[in-house]
Amino acid sequence: MPERSPWEDRAAKLLKAELKRRGMTYAQLVEKLAAMGVREDERNVRNKLSRGKFTAAFLLQCLEALGSRELRLD
């Protein structure tokens, strides 16, 4: 499997940090995404974050589901 790029790594770490900051699990994220009409299962979300392979749209959906209003890039 190809190694993920520094940008993919950064995006995955950013999203994982937002989850941790809010004390949310992948399962809770999946529930919140479902409430927005975004159908994902926990395994798929976990794999996307593990690989760092997801679209900008998915990142925005997750941030919206988490209630993020500001994004910390440091």
* 16 CB-near residues (< 8 Å, 6+ apart): 49
Cα 9 from Cα 51, distance rounded (Å) = 8
Give Dmax (Cα) for the chain.
Answer: 34
**Residues 72, 41: Cα–Cα separation, whole Å:** 26
Q: What is the pLDDT along the chain (74 residues), one digit of tens a residue?
A: 568 899 999 999 999 999 999 999 999 999 999 999 999 999 999 999 999 999 999 999 999 999 998 887 77
Task: State the pLDDT at residue 1.
Answer: 53
Helical spans, DSSP H, in 1-74: 6-21, 26-35, 42-51, 56-66
